[in-house]
Copies of this chain bind each other. A is one copy, B any other.
Amino acid sequence: MKLSERVLSLKESPVRKLVPVANRAKEAGKKVYHLNIGQPDIKTPKVFMEAINNYDTDIIKYSFSYGEPVLIHAIQDFFKRDGIVFSDKNILITNGGSEAVTFATIAVCDPGDEILVPEPFYTNYNGFTGEVSAKIKPITTKAEDGYHLPKKADIVKLISPKTKAIMFSNPGNPTGTILRQDEMDMIAEIAIEYNLFIISDEVYRGMAFDGLEGISMGTIKGIEDRLIILESVSKRYSACGARIGAICSRNEELMANILKLCQARLCVATLEQIGAAALYKLPQSYTESIKNEYQKRRDIAYNALSQIPGVVCKKPTGAFYFIFQLPVEDAEEFIVWMLEDFELDGETIMLAPAEGFYATPGLGRNEARIAYVLNEDGMKRAMYILEKGLEAYQQIHR
Protein backbone atom coordinates (compact mmCIF):
# COMPACT_ATOMS: atom_id res chain seq x y z
CA MET A 1 0.00 0.00 0.00
CA LYS A 2 1.25 3.45 -0.81
CA LEU A 3 0.47 6.45 1.29
CA SER A 4 -1.05 9.51 -0.36
CA GLU A 5 1.23 11.99 -2.08
CA ARG A 6 -0.27 14.79 -0.03
CA VAL A 7 0.58 13.24 3.32
CA LEU A 8 4.08 12.25 2.20
CA SER A 9 4.78 15.77 0.97
CA LEU A 10 3.82 17.42 4.27
CA LYS A 11 6.83 18.64 6.17
CA GLU A 12 7.24 18.09 9.87
CA SER A 13 6.42 21.12 11.99
CA PRO A 14 9.63 23.13 12.45
CA VAL A 15 8.33 24.03 15.88
CA ARG A 16 7.82 20.42 16.93
CA LYS A 17 10.23 18.32 14.88
CA LEU A 18 13.16 19.01 17.21
CA VAL A 19 11.18 17.93 20.28
CA PRO A 20 12.95 14.53 20.40
CA VAL A 21 16.30 16.34 20.41
CA ALA A 22 15.13 18.50 23.29
CA ASN A 23 13.83 15.46 25.13
CA ARG A 24 17.24 13.79 24.88
CA ALA A 25 18.86 16.95 26.26
CA LYS A 26 16.48 16.85 29.20
CA GLU A 27 17.08 13.16 29.77
CA ALA A 28 20.79 13.98 29.89
CA GLY A 29 19.96 16.29 32.79
CA LYS A 30 19.95 19.67 31.03
CA LYS A 31 17.38 22.34 31.75
CA VAL A 32 15.91 23.60 28.46
CA TYR A 33 14.38 27.09 28.18
CA HIS A 34 11.67 26.69 25.55
CA LEU A 35 11.58 29.68 23.25
CA ASN A 36 10.58 27.47 20.34
CA ILE A 37 6.87 27.15 20.96
CA GLY A 38 4.08 29.60 21.72
CA GLN A 39 3.28 28.00 25.02
CA PRO A 40 3.05 30.89 27.50
CA ASP A 41 4.07 30.43 31.13
CA ILE A 42 1.28 32.83 32.12
CA LYS A 43 -1.38 31.13 34.22
CA THR A 44 -4.69 30.34 32.60
CA PRO A 45 -7.28 32.56 34.34
CA LYS A 46 -8.87 30.61 37.17
CA VAL A 47 -12.36 31.21 35.76
CA PHE A 48 -11.61 28.55 33.13
CA MET A 49 -11.26 25.62 35.53
CA GLU A 50 -13.89 27.06 37.85
CA ALA A 51 -16.46 27.07 35.09
CA ILE A 52 -15.61 23.48 34.23
CA ASN A 53 -15.58 22.30 37.84
CA ASN A 54 -18.94 23.94 38.42
CA TYR A 55 -20.50 22.57 35.24
CA ASP A 56 -23.23 20.35 36.52
CA THR A 57 -23.93 17.36 34.33
CA ASP A 58 -24.25 13.62 34.64
CA ILE A 59 -23.66 12.98 30.96
CA ILE A 60 -20.92 14.54 28.86
CA LYS A 61 -23.21 14.97 25.87
CA TYR A 62 -22.54 16.11 22.36
CA SER A 63 -22.52 19.87 22.15
CA PHE A 64 -24.25 21.59 19.25
CA SER A 65 -22.28 21.31 16.01
CA TYR A 66 -22.16 25.09 15.79
CA GLY A 67 -21.04 25.42 19.41
CA GLU A 68 -22.37 26.14 22.90
CA PRO A 69 -24.59 29.25 22.85
CA VAL A 70 -22.93 30.61 26.01
CA LEU A 71 -19.59 30.64 24.19
CA ILE A 72 -20.97 32.07 20.95
CA HIS A 73 -22.59 34.91 22.90
CA ALA A 74 -19.37 35.59 24.81
CA ILE A 75 -17.45 35.85 21.52
CA GLN A 76 -20.11 38.18 20.12
CA ASP A 77 -19.68 40.46 23.13
CA PHE A 78 -15.90 40.31 22.75
CA PHE A 79 -16.16 41.61 19.17
CA LYS A 80 -18.77 44.19 20.13
CA ARG A 81 -16.13 45.95 22.24
CA ASP A 82 -14.63 47.00 18.92
CA GLY A 83 -17.95 47.76 17.30
CA ILE A 84 -18.01 44.53 15.29
CA VAL A 85 -21.40 42.87 15.25
CA PHE A 86 -21.82 39.15 14.56
CA SER A 87 -25.16 37.36 14.68
CA ASP A 88 -25.49 33.89 16.21
CA LYS A 89 -25.14 32.32 12.77
CA ASN A 90 -22.00 34.34 12.05
CA ILE A 91 -19.95 32.34 14.56
CA LEU A 92 -19.01 28.65 14.51
CA ILE A 93 -16.93 27.13 17.31
CA THR A 94 -13.94 25.05 16.18
CA ASN A 95 -11.25 22.77 17.62
CA GLY A 96 -8.81 25.60 18.14
CA GLY A 97 -7.77 28.09 15.51
CA SER A 98 -6.33 25.03 13.73
CA GLU A 99 -9.66 23.61 12.67
CA ALA A 100 -10.82 27.10 11.78
CA VAL A 101 -8.00 27.40 9.21
CA THR A 102 -8.74 23.93 7.84
CA PHE A 103 -12.47 24.56 7.49
CA ALA A 104 -11.95 27.96 5.86
CA THR A 105 -9.55 26.37 3.37
CA ILE A 106 -11.91 23.51 2.53
CA ALA A 107 -14.78 25.94 2.05
CA VAL A 108 -12.96 28.20 -0.40
CA CYS A 109 -10.52 25.82 -2.14
CA ASP A 110 -10.90 22.75 -4.30
CA PRO A 111 -7.76 20.64 -4.87
CA GLY A 112 -5.11 22.69 -6.65
CA ASP A 113 -6.60 26.05 -5.67
CA GLU A 114 -4.33 28.65 -4.13
CA ILE A 115 -4.27 31.00 -1.16
CA LEU A 116 -1.96 34.01 -1.04
CA VAL A 117 -0.07 34.19 2.25
CA PRO A 118 2.62 36.69 3.25
CA GLU A 119 5.77 34.75 4.20
CA PRO A 120 7.24 34.05 6.69
CA PHE A 121 3.94 32.65 7.94
CA TYR A 122 2.59 30.42 10.65
CA THR A 123 4.07 27.16 9.49
CA ASN A 124 1.01 25.02 10.16
CA TYR A 125 -0.80 26.86 7.37
CA ASN A 126 1.27 24.52 5.18
CA GLY A 127 -0.24 21.50 6.90
CA PHE A 128 -3.83 22.76 6.93
CA THR A 129 -3.77 23.60 3.23
CA GLY A 130 -1.59 20.71 2.07
CA GLU A 131 -3.66 18.04 3.77
CA VAL A 132 -6.73 19.17 1.84
CA SER A 133 -4.70 19.58 -1.39
CA ALA A 134 -4.81 23.38 -1.58
CA LYS A 135 -1.65 25.43 -2.13
CA ILE A 136 -0.04 28.44 -0.53
CA LYS A 137 1.37 31.09 -2.84
CA PRO A 138 3.78 33.17 -0.78
CA ILE A 139 3.97 36.95 -0.77
CA THR A 140 7.57 37.41 0.35
CA THR A 141 8.15 40.01 3.04
CA LYS A 142 11.57 41.01 4.31
CA ALA A 143 13.35 41.55 7.59
CA GLU A 144 14.59 44.97 6.45
CA ASP A 145 10.97 46.10 5.87
CA GLY A 146 9.95 44.81 9.29
CA TYR A 147 8.00 42.10 7.43
CA HIS A 148 5.45 44.63 6.19
CA LEU A 149 3.69 43.94 2.89
CA PRO A 150 5.25 44.79 -0.47
CA LYS A 151 3.39 47.19 -2.73
CA LYS A 152 0.14 46.28 -4.41
CA ALA A 153 1.65 45.57 -7.84
CA ASP A 154 3.96 42.95 -6.31
CA ILE A 155 1.01 41.21 -4.70
CA VAL A 156 -1.50 41.22 -7.55
CA LYS A 157 1.01 39.73 -9.99
CA LEU A 158 0.83 36.55 -7.87
CA ILE A 159 -2.92 36.21 -8.44
CA SER A 160 -4.14 33.55 -10.89
CA PRO A 161 -7.56 32.07 -11.69
CA LYS A 162 -6.69 29.46 -9.03
CA THR A 163 -6.36 32.10 -6.31
CA LYS A 164 -9.33 32.02 -3.94
CA ALA A 165 -8.24 33.93 -0.87
CA ILE A 166 -5.59 35.93 0.92
CA MET A 167 -4.73 34.71 4.41
CA PHE A 168 -2.53 36.24 7.09
CA SER A 169 -2.14 36.46 10.84
CA ASN A 170 -2.33 39.92 12.38
CA PRO A 171 -0.59 40.48 14.76
CA GLY A 172 1.78 38.24 12.89
CA ASN A 173 3.17 34.89 13.87
CA PRO A 174 6.16 34.41 13.42
CA THR A 175 7.07 38.03 12.67
CA GLY A 176 5.44 39.97 15.48
CA THR A 177 4.47 42.53 12.85
CA ILE A 178 1.19 44.45 13.07
CA LEU A 179 -0.40 45.54 9.82
CA ARG A 180 -0.78 49.29 9.34
CA GLN A 181 -4.19 50.68 8.38
CA ASP A 182 -3.00 51.31 4.83
CA GLU A 183 -1.92 47.67 4.51
CA MET A 184 -5.30 46.46 5.74
CA ASP A 185 -7.03 48.79 3.28
CA MET A 186 -4.82 47.48 0.47
CA ILE A 187 -5.74 43.90 1.31
CA ALA A 188 -9.43 44.84 1.22
CA GLU A 189 -8.94 46.62 -2.11
CA ILE A 190 -7.16 43.67 -3.69
CA ALA A 191 -9.77 41.23 -2.40
CA ILE A 192 -12.59 43.31 -3.88
CA GLU A 193 -10.83 43.85 -7.20
CA TYR A 194 -9.88 40.21 -7.65
CA ASN A 195 -12.93 38.73 -5.93
CA LEU A 196 -11.04 36.92 -3.19
CA PHE A 197 -11.95 35.84 0.31
CA ILE A 198 -9.95 37.42 3.14
CA ILE A 199 -8.97 34.96 5.89
CA SER A 200 -7.82 37.07 8.81
CA ASP A 201 -6.20 35.06 11.59
CA GLU A 202 -6.65 37.27 14.64
CA VAL A 203 -5.73 34.88 17.43
CA TYR A 204 -3.14 37.36 18.75
CA ARG A 205 -5.46 40.34 18.61
CA GLY A 206 -5.04 42.62 21.61
CA MET A 207 -1.36 41.78 21.90
CA ALA A 208 -0.10 45.02 20.34
CA PHE A 209 2.66 47.16 21.82
CA ASP A 210 4.07 50.68 21.78
CA GLY A 211 0.61 52.23 21.61
CA LEU A 212 -0.46 50.32 18.51
CA GLU A 213 -3.99 49.01 18.52
CA GLY A 214 -3.83 45.91 16.35
CA ILE A 215 -7.38 46.31 15.14
CA SER A 216 -9.54 43.66 13.53
CA MET A 217 -10.20 43.41 9.78
CA GLY A 218 -13.83 43.34 10.93
CA THR A 219 -13.67 47.13 11.30
CA ILE A 220 -13.21 47.64 7.56
CA LYS A 221 -16.35 48.44 5.58
CA GLY A 222 -17.29 46.89 2.26
CA ILE A 223 -15.74 43.44 2.78
CA GLU A 224 -18.38 41.93 5.07
CA ASP A 225 -19.29 39.15 2.64
CA ARG A 226 -15.69 38.13 1.91
CA LEU A 227 -14.13 38.37 5.35
CA ILE A 228 -13.47 35.27 7.46
CA ILE A 229 -12.01 35.98 10.91
CA LEU A 230 -10.28 33.19 12.82
CA GLU A 231 -10.30 33.33 16.61
CA SER A 232 -8.81 31.29 19.45
CA VAL A 233 -8.48 31.36 23.24
CA SER A 234 -5.03 29.76 23.13
CA LYS A 235 -2.75 32.76 23.24
CA ARG A 236 -4.71 35.72 24.57
CA TYR A 237 -5.98 33.64 27.49
CA SER A 238 -3.02 31.31 27.84
CA ALA A 239 -5.24 28.29 27.25
CA CYS A 240 -3.46 26.49 24.41
CA GLY A 241 -4.54 23.07 25.63
CA ALA A 242 -8.23 24.00 25.60
CA ARG A 243 -8.38 23.77 21.79
CA ILE A 244 -11.16 26.30 21.41
CA GLY A 245 -11.35 28.53 18.38
CA ALA A 246 -13.97 30.03 16.12
CA ILE A 247 -14.73 31.02 12.54
CA CYS A 248 -16.55 34.32 12.26
CA SER A 249 -18.09 35.63 9.05
CA ARG A 250 -21.12 37.56 7.90
CA ASN A 251 -21.27 35.58 4.65
CA GLU A 252 -24.28 33.40 5.36
CA GLU A 253 -23.83 31.02 2.44
CA LEU A 254 -20.26 30.39 3.53
CA MET A 255 -21.28 29.79 7.13
CA ALA A 256 -24.12 27.45 6.15
CA ASN A 257 -21.59 25.39 4.21
CA ILE A 258 -18.97 25.39 6.94
CA LEU A 259 -21.74 24.25 9.29
CA LYS A 260 -21.85 21.04 7.25
CA LEU A 261 -18.19 20.49 8.10
CA CYS A 262 -19.01 21.14 11.74
CA GLN A 263 -21.90 18.69 11.62
CA ALA A 264 -19.73 15.94 10.14
CA ARG A 265 -17.33 16.07 13.09
CA LEU A 266 -20.32 16.44 15.42
CA CYS A 267 -19.04 18.99 17.91
CA VAL A 268 -16.19 20.52 19.86
CA ALA A 269 -15.49 19.26 23.40
CA THR A 270 -18.32 20.47 25.63
CA LEU A 271 -16.43 21.21 28.86
CA GLU A 272 -13.72 23.23 27.16
CA GLN A 273 -16.38 25.43 25.57
CA ILE A 274 -17.88 26.13 28.99
CA GLY A 275 -14.44 27.12 30.26
CA ALA A 276 -13.68 29.23 27.19
CA ALA A 277 -16.91 31.21 27.58
CA ALA A 278 -15.68 32.33 30.99
CA LEU A 279 -12.40 33.49 29.39
CA TYR A 280 -14.11 35.64 26.77
CA LYS A 281 -16.13 37.27 29.55
CA LEU A 282 -12.98 38.56 31.24
CA PRO A 283 -12.86 42.35 31.21
CA GLN A 284 -10.68 44.38 28.85
CA SER A 285 -8.33 45.02 31.78
CA TYR A 286 -7.27 41.38 31.59
CA THR A 287 -6.06 41.78 28.00
CA GLU A 288 -4.32 45.02 28.99
CA SER A 289 -2.38 43.29 31.76
CA ILE A 290 -1.32 40.50 29.41
CA LYS A 291 -0.23 43.03 26.83
CA ASN A 292 1.90 44.86 29.36
CA GLU A 293 3.52 41.65 30.50
CA TYR A 294 4.43 40.65 26.95
CA GLN A 295 5.68 44.12 26.12
CA LYS A 296 8.15 43.81 29.01
CA ARG A 297 9.32 40.45 27.73
CA ARG A 298 9.55 41.70 24.18
CA ASP A 299 11.83 44.47 25.43
CA ILE A 300 14.11 42.02 27.21
CA ALA A 301 14.31 39.71 24.21
CA TYR A 302 14.73 42.45 21.63
CA ASN A 303 17.24 44.49 23.63
CA ALA A 304 19.38 41.44 24.35
CA LEU A 305 19.22 40.11 20.79
CA SER A 306 19.92 43.38 19.06
CA GLN A 307 23.14 43.70 21.05
CA ILE A 308 24.51 40.32 20.00
CA PRO A 309 27.06 40.84 17.23
CA GLY A 310 25.81 39.58 13.89
CA VAL A 311 22.14 39.26 14.92
CA VAL A 312 19.74 41.21 12.65
CA CYS A 313 16.22 42.08 13.74
CA LYS A 314 13.69 44.91 13.72
CA LYS A 315 11.68 45.71 16.81
CA PRO A 316 8.45 43.69 16.65
CA THR A 317 5.19 45.29 17.77
CA GLY A 318 2.78 42.46 18.46
CA ALA A 319 1.98 38.84 19.28
CA PHE A 320 4.77 37.20 21.29
CA TYR A 321 7.17 36.13 18.57
CA PHE A 322 9.68 37.55 16.25
CA ILE A 323 12.09 36.31 13.65
CA PHE A 324 15.73 37.30 13.55
CA GLN A 325 18.83 36.51 11.51
CA LEU A 326 21.59 34.61 13.24
CA PRO A 327 25.26 34.96 12.29
CA VAL A 328 25.31 31.30 11.26
CA GLU A 329 24.82 29.52 7.96
CA ASP A 330 22.22 27.03 9.10
CA ALA A 331 20.01 28.06 12.01
CA GLU A 332 18.60 24.57 12.48
CA GLU A 333 22.07 23.12 12.86
CA PHE A 334 22.86 25.76 15.48
CA ILE A 335 19.60 25.08 17.35
CA VAL A 336 20.34 21.34 17.45
CA TRP A 337 23.90 22.05 18.55
CA MET A 338 22.62 24.20 21.43
CA LEU A 339 20.55 21.24 22.61
CA GLU A 340 23.08 18.48 22.03
CA ASP A 341 26.49 20.03 22.56
CA PHE A 342 26.12 23.18 24.62
CA GLU A 343 25.23 23.99 28.18
CA LEU A 344 25.83 26.80 30.63
CA ASP A 345 25.78 25.49 34.17
CA GLY A 346 23.53 22.65 33.01
CA GLU A 347 21.13 24.88 31.07
CA THR A 348 20.44 25.56 27.41
CA ILE A 349 17.74 27.07 25.17
CA MET A 350 15.58 25.96 22.28
CA LEU A 351 14.52 28.16 19.34
CA ALA A 352 12.44 27.32 16.26
CA PRO A 353 14.37 27.21 12.97
CA ALA A 354 12.69 29.71 10.63
CA GLU A 355 13.15 28.00 7.27
CA GLY A 356 9.86 26.16 7.76
CA PHE A 357 8.01 29.47 8.05
CA TYR A 358 8.85 30.25 4.41
CA ALA A 359 7.33 28.65 1.33
CA THR A 360 10.01 29.96 -1.02
CA PRO A 361 12.93 27.50 -1.05
CA GLY A 362 16.15 28.82 0.43
CA LEU A 363 14.63 31.65 2.45
CA GLY A 364 15.01 31.76 6.21
CA ARG A 365 17.87 29.28 6.52
CA ASN A 366 19.86 31.58 8.80
CA GLU A 367 16.83 32.79 10.72
CA ALA A 368 15.15 31.62 13.90
CA ARG A 369 11.87 32.38 15.61
CA ILE A 370 11.81 33.30 19.26
CA ALA A 371 8.66 33.03 21.35
CA TYR A 372 9.07 35.27 24.37
CA VAL A 373 6.79 33.23 26.54
CA LEU A 374 8.94 33.06 29.68
CA ASN A 375 8.80 35.41 32.66
CA GLU A 376 11.34 38.23 33.00
CA ASP A 377 13.98 36.25 34.87
CA GLY A 378 13.61 33.30 32.51
CA MET A 379 13.87 35.54 29.44
CA LYS A 380 16.98 37.27 30.75
CA ARG A 381 18.69 34.02 31.57
CA ALA A 382 17.69 32.47 28.21
CA MET A 383 19.06 35.46 26.29
CA TYR A 384 22.34 35.21 28.20
CA ILE A 385 22.62 31.52 27.37
CA LEU A 386 21.90 32.26 23.71
CA GLU A 387 24.65 34.87 23.61
CA LYS A 388 27.19 32.56 25.20
CA GLY A 389 26.11 29.64 23.04
CA LEU A 390 26.48 31.69 19.90
CA GLU A 391 29.98 32.77 20.95
CA ALA A 392 31.02 29.17 21.51
CA TYR A 393 29.40 27.99 18.26
CA GLN A 394 31.14 30.66 16.24
CA GLN A 395 34.52 29.76 17.69
CA ILE A 396 34.04 26.17 16.56
CA HIS A 397 32.51 27.06 13.19
CA ARG A 398 34.66 30.00 12.14
State the A residues within 8 Å of B (CB): 1, 3-8, 10-13, 16-17, 37, 39-44, 48-49, 52-53, 58-63, 65, 95-96, 98-99, 102, 106-111, 113, 124, 126-128, 131-133, 164, 195-197, 225-226, 238-243, 253-254, 257-258, 260-261, 263-272, 275
Chain B contacts for A41, CB-based, 8 A:
59
Please, how many angstroms separate the alpha-carbon atoms of A43 and B4 in the complex?
Answer: 41
Please, how many angstroms separate the alpha-carbon atoms of A226 and B2 in the complex?
Answer: 10
Min CB–CB distance A52 → chain B (angstroms): 7
Option from B109, B127, B239 in Cβ contact (under 8 Å) with A60: B239
Flag if B10 contacts A264 (CB, 8 Å): yes
Q: Which residue on chain B has the smallest CB distance to residue A95?
A: B95
Option from B3, B59, B242 in Cβ contact (under 8 Å) with A44: B59
Across the A-B interface, the 3 shortest Cβ-Cβ residue pairs: A127-B264, A241-B270, A98-B265
Chain B contacts for A8, CB-based, 8 A:
257
Q: Which residue on chain B has the smallest CB distance to residue A270?
A: B241
The residue among A99, A164, A260 with the most chain B CB atoms within 10 A of its own CB is: A260
Option from B49, B133, B269 in Cβ contact (under 8 Å) with A110: B133
Min CB–CB distance A305 → chain B (angstroms): 25
Option from B127, B241, B265 in Cβ contact (under 8 Å) with A99: B265
Min CB–CB distance A36 → chain B (angstroms): 12
Please, how many angstroms separate the alpha-carbon atoms of A110 and B196 in the complex?
Answer: 26
Chain B contacts for A106, CB-based, 8 A:
4, 6-7, 131-132
Min CB–CB distance A259 → chain B (angstroms): 8
Min CB–CB distance A114 → chain B (angstroms): 12
Please, how many angstroms separate the alpha-carbon atoms of A73 and B224 in the complex?
Answer: 48
Flag if A269 contacts B272 (CB, 8 Å): yes
Flag if B16 contacts A263 (CB, 8 Å): yes
Known: A11-B260, A269-B269. 17 other contacts (CB 8 A): A1-B226, A4-B107, A7-B257, A10-B260, A10-B261, A17-B263, A37-B62, A44-B58, A60-B241, A60-B242, A99-B265, A102-B265, A111-B133, A127-B265, A131-B264, A240-B266, A243-B269
Option from B52, B95, B110 in Cβ contact (under 8 Å) with A4: B110
Given A132-B133, A264-B128; A43-B59 close (CB under 8 Å): yes
Chain B contacts for A271, CB-based, 8 A:
52, 241-242, 271-272
Please, how many angstroms separate the alpha-carbon atoms of A61 and B164 in the complex?
Answer: 34
Chain B contacts for A267, CB-based, 8 A:
240-241, 243
Please, how many angstroms separate the alpha-carbon atoms of A354 and B269 in the complex?
Answer: 27
Chain B contacts for A12, CB-based, 8 A:
260, 263
Option from B53, B59, B111 in Cβ contact (under 8 Å) with A42: B59
Flag if B107 contacts A7 (CB, 8 Å): yes
Given A95-B95, A264-B10; A110-B239 close (CB under 8 Å): no
Min CB–CB distance A163 → chain B (angstroms): 11
Min CB–CB distance A261 → chain B (angstroms): 6
Flag if A60 contacts B37 (CB, 8 Å): no
**17 A-B pairs in the complex with CB atoms less than 8 angstroms apart:** A1-B196, A1-B226, A4-B164, A13-B65, A37-B62, A49-B60, A53-B53, A61-B240, A95-B243, A99-B265, A111-B111, A124-B266, A127-B264, A128-B265, A131-B132, A131-B261, A242-B269
Min CB–CB distance A232 → chain B (angstroms): 10
Option from B62, B95, B238, B240 in Cβ contact (under 8 Å) with A240: B62
Please, how many angstroms separate the alpha-carbon atoms of A110 and B258 in the complex?
Answer: 22
The residue among A99, A240, A243 with the most chain B CB atoms within 10 A of its own CB is: A243
Please, how many angstroms separate the alpha-carbon atoms of A10 and B127 in the complex?
Answer: 22
The residue among A40, A43, A53, A132 with the most chain B CB atoms within 10 A of its own CB is: A132
